[in-house]
Amino acid sequence: MTFEWAAWANLAIRWLHLTAGIAWIGSSFYFMWLDSHLKAPAKPPPGVAGELWSVHSGGFYHQMKFIVAPEGMPDELHWFKWEAYTTWISGVLLLALIFYVGADVNLIDASKVALNNWQAIGIGVASLAAGWVVYDLLCRSPLGANLRVFGVLWFLILTAAAWGLTRVFADLGAVMHVGAIIGTVMVANVFLIIIPNQGKVVAQVLAGLTPDPSLGKQAKQRSVHNNYMTLPVLFIMISNHYPMIVSAPLNWLWLAGLGIAGWTIRHFFNLKNAGKVRYDVLLLGALAFVTVAVLNETAKPPPPAAVPVPPFAEVRALVDRHCVMCHSATPTHRGITTPPNGVVLATDEGLTRNASKVYDRAVASHSMPLNNETHITDAERASLGAWIKAGAKVAP
């Protein structure tokens, strides 16, 4: 019996990544909401900036926020950090398992740049480190004090990174590395700035010193940045399901447009939480999304001229030549142990049942075969598309 350890490891890590990400992003959203709903109490205790009464799950809660820190530390203090750390660790494990162990299959596209595995992995890791260094230097510069100016510059830097990576890597590998850059920046904010600054404040209080307010201010700056980066990261986490974005010739541009939509929509909710309902901001986010959709569809190449519907025997041979090495119950492609997304095309029943998926990937978006390693021609794609459009029938 052959144990599919890679598939089970992928499932376990991906599930952990999703669970930890929900916990991290949920806490980020909650604390941004909490900050905006705090009200100054009528008789504030010493050092209290605001309070909030809330009810949930049959219980009443009373939250208070101190201007810098309380006069004395409680015996137990909860630190929100492992949600972030677990998300990043599991994400890096997925990145390594899918794109580094399988670099020749999932990361390298020889039609763009012919890289060795170690070169591709080195570029990928270097992009994560460079993203943090550039971001951190920008935060520490005078430009970091202005959220809007900083946001525009950081958006342009990420867009440039997306453009560069899509020129070097296979499409999905490039998009996932953009997400990994953002995720690395977010967790580095927690690990290197937010938690250490909070630790310094705690130490100052315990030592009987007046806490340094600049520490909290810097931590808050990075926390706000993380909040705005969550929606673009969430899209990238699910982007492999949308080849019309990931595999499009202008994928870097569509990614940037959806980033604008995500940031704008997040800004609407941050304003709403603060009692400033700005439907024009929400409309702008929706407009950004619709603009990407319209331009993406407009930029698609014209459909090929009508071709005759081929006999099924020709379709069968075409699929066997270009698809079955991966999409069979027992794949023969190196590095592939289970059919991707559970799509089996080795049988006639499997091919007809998954015909719409084949059309989306092989005909409409050209995202399959991966990196076109089997050199399927446009004529073959058109022939396959004609058969599917005609009903994907096995019998003549």
Where among 298, 328, 362 does a domain terminate? Answer: 298
This prediction's pTM: 0.83
> How many CA within 13 A on the CB side of residue 276?
8
- For the segment 286-319, what is each residue's pLDDT rounded down to a tens digit? 999 999 999 998 988 776 677 888 888 888 888 8
Q: Which contacts (CB < 8 Å, 24+ apart) does range 8-16 have?
A: 9/97, 10/94, 10/97, 10/98, 13/90, 13/93, 13/94, 13/97, 14/90, 14/94, 16/86, 16/90
253 falls within a domain: yes
pLDDT(178) > 90: yes
Q: Check if the beta carbon of residue 99 is closer than 8 Å to that of residue 107.
A: yes
Q: How many CB atoms lie within 10 A of CB 36?
A: 17
305 falls within a domain: no
Looking at the structure, do residues 261 and 360 belong to the same domain, yes or no? Answer: no
**Residue range(s) defining the domain that contains residue 333:** 312-389
25 falls within a domain: yes
Looking at the structure, do residues 245 and 352 belong to the same domain, yes or no? Answer: no
Question: What is the pLDDT confidence band of residue 3, given thresholds at 50, 70 and 90?
Answer: low
Looking at the structure, do residues 256 and 318 belong to the same domain, yes or no? Answer: no
Where among 298, 332, 354 does a domain terminate? Answer: 298
Looking at the structure, do residues 107 and 240 belong to the same domain, yes or no? Answer: yes
Looking at the structure, do residues 234 and 362 belong to the same domain, yes or no? Answer: no
Looking at the structure, do residues 318 and 292 belong to the same domain, yes or no? Answer: no
Mean pLDDT of 269-289: 90
396 falls within a domain: no
306 falls within a domain: no
303 falls within a domain: no
Looking at the structure, do residues 209 and 277 belong to the same domain, yes or no? Answer: yes
Q: Check if the beta carbon of residue 172 is closer than 8 Å to that of residue 103.
A: no
32 falls within a domain: yes
- For the segment 102-142, what is each residue's pLDDT rounded down to a tens digit? 888 889 888 898 899 999 999 999 999 999 999 999 999 99
- The string of DSSP letters for 128-158 reads HHHHHHHHHHHHHSGGGG-HHHHHHHHHHHH
Looking at the structure, do residues 294 and 318 belong to the same domain, yes or no? Answer: no
pLDDT of residue 396: 60
Looking at the structure, do residues 154 and 285 belong to the same domain, yes or no? Answer: yes
Q: How many CB atoms lie within 10 A of CB 13?
A: 20
Contacts of 256 (CB under 8 A, 6+ apart): 155, 158, 159, 162
Highest mean pLDDT among 65-69, 298-302, 321-325 belongs to 321-325
Where among 298, 328, 347 does a domain terminate? Answer: 298
Looking at the structure, do residues 330 and 293 belong to the same domain, yes or no? Answer: no
Q: How many CB atoms lie within 10 A of CB 106?
A: 22
Looking at the structure, do residues 192 and 333 belong to the same domain, yes or no? Answer: no
pLDDT(271) > 80: yes
Looking at the structure, do residues 188 and 166 belong to the same domain, yes or no? Answer: yes
139 falls within a domain: yes
Q: How many domains does the chain have?
A: 2
